C-alpha cells in the first residue's frame, strides 16, 4: 500500500457555476449578437437586392462587385458564427474564463461594424471578469467545506466547519476541539 497524494478537486459543476455577473454578460452578448444578426441580414439582403437589380441594369464592374459582395457576406456569417460559438455558447455553459478573450476581440472588431453591439460586447467582457472572480470565490468556498475541515456535533449530528463555535448552535453540546 502506498499513500496516494490527494489533490483537492473542485467538481465541474462548481468550477462552472453560473453567477449573477455571468448572467448579465450572457444577456449583453445575446443582445449584441441579435443586433448584429439583424445588421448582417440587412447587409446581405441589400447586396442580394443590388445584384438582382444589376441583372436588369448591368454595369461594367458587376463581377468585381459580386465577388466583393460574396466576400463581405462570408465575413459577416463567419463573424456571427464565431461570436455565437466562442463567446455566447461558452458564457451559457459557465465557461467564463474561456469566453473572456473571444468576447474582447469580438467586441473590439464589432466597434468597426456598429457601435452599439461593440459596446454591449465590451460591457459583457467587463462582466465576465467579475463572473470569473465570483466563480473562483465560490470554488474556494467549496474547497473550505471538504470533509476534512468539518466536525460533527456529538449531540445532534449536525456538521459544522472546524472552529465554527465552541458549542453547537443547534443543541448546545460542547463541540470537539
Ligand atoms: Zn448539536
The SS3 call for residue 132 is helix
Report residue 92 as a C-alpha cell. Answer: 451559457
Q: Find the 172 Cα to ligand 1 centroid distance in Å.
A: 6
In this predicted model, what pLDDT tens digit does every residue of 44-99 receive, in sequence order?
999 888 888 887 887 778 788 888 889 999 999 999 999 999 999 999 999 999 99
Same domain, 139 and 63: yes
Distance 149 CA to ligand 1 centre (A): 17
Q: Does 1 map to a domain?
A: no
Distance 175 CA to ligand 1 centre (A): 8
Task: For residue range 152-176, list pLDDT tens digits in order.
Answer: 888 898 888 777 788 888 899 888 7
Q: What is the DSSP letter of 57?
A: S
Q: Residue 174 C-alpha to ligand 1 middle, in angstroms?
A: 8
Domain assignment of residue 26, yes or no: yes
Does residue 135 share a domain with residue 54?
yes
Instruction: Tell me whether residue 29 is in a domain.
Output: yes
Domain that holds residue 176: 149-177
In-domain check, residue 8: no
For residues 38 and 114, what is the distance between their CA atoms, to the nearest angstrom?
Answer: 11
Distance 143 CA to ligand 1 centre (A): 23
Please report whether residue 12 resides in a domain.
Answer: no
How far CA 26 is from CA of 32, 89, 105, 122, in Å, comes to 10, 9, 16, 12
- Residue with the bigger pLDDT between 21 and 16: it is 21
Q: Are 73 and 44 in contact (CB under 8 A)?
A: yes
Q: What is residue 121's predicted lDDT score, i.e. its pLDDT? A: 95
Amino acid at each position: 500500500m502506498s499513500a496516494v497524494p490527494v489533490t483537492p478537486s473542485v467538481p465541474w459543476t462548481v468550477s462552472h457555476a453560473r453567477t449573477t455577473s455571468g448572467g448579465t454578460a450572457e444577456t449583453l452578448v445575446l443582445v449584441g449578437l441579435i443586433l448584429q444578426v439583424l445588421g448582417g441580414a440587412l447587409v446581405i439582403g441589400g447586396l442580394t437586392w443590388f445584384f438582382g437589380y444589376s441583372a436588369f441594369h448591368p454595369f461594367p464592374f458587376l463581377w468585381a462587385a459580386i465577388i466583393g459582395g460574396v466576400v463581405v457576406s462570408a465575413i459577416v456569417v463567419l463573424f456571427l458564427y464565431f461570436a455565437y460559438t466562442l463567446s455566447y455558447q461558452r458564457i451559457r455553459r459557465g465557461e467564463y474564463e474561456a469566453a473572456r478573450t473571444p468576447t474582447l476581440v469580438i467586441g473590439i472588431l464589432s466597434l468597426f461594424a456598429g457601435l452599439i453591439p461593440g459596446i454591449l460586447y465590451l460591457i459583457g467582457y467587463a462582466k465576465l471578469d467579475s463572473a470569473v472572480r465570483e466563480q473562483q470565490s465560490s470554488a474556494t468556498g467549496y474547497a473550505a467545506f471538504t470533509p476534512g475541515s468539518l466536525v460533527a456535533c456529538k449531540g445532534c449530528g449536525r456538521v459544522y466547519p472546524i472552529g465554527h463555535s465552541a458549542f453547537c448552535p443547534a443543541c448546545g453540546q460542547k463541540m470537539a476541539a
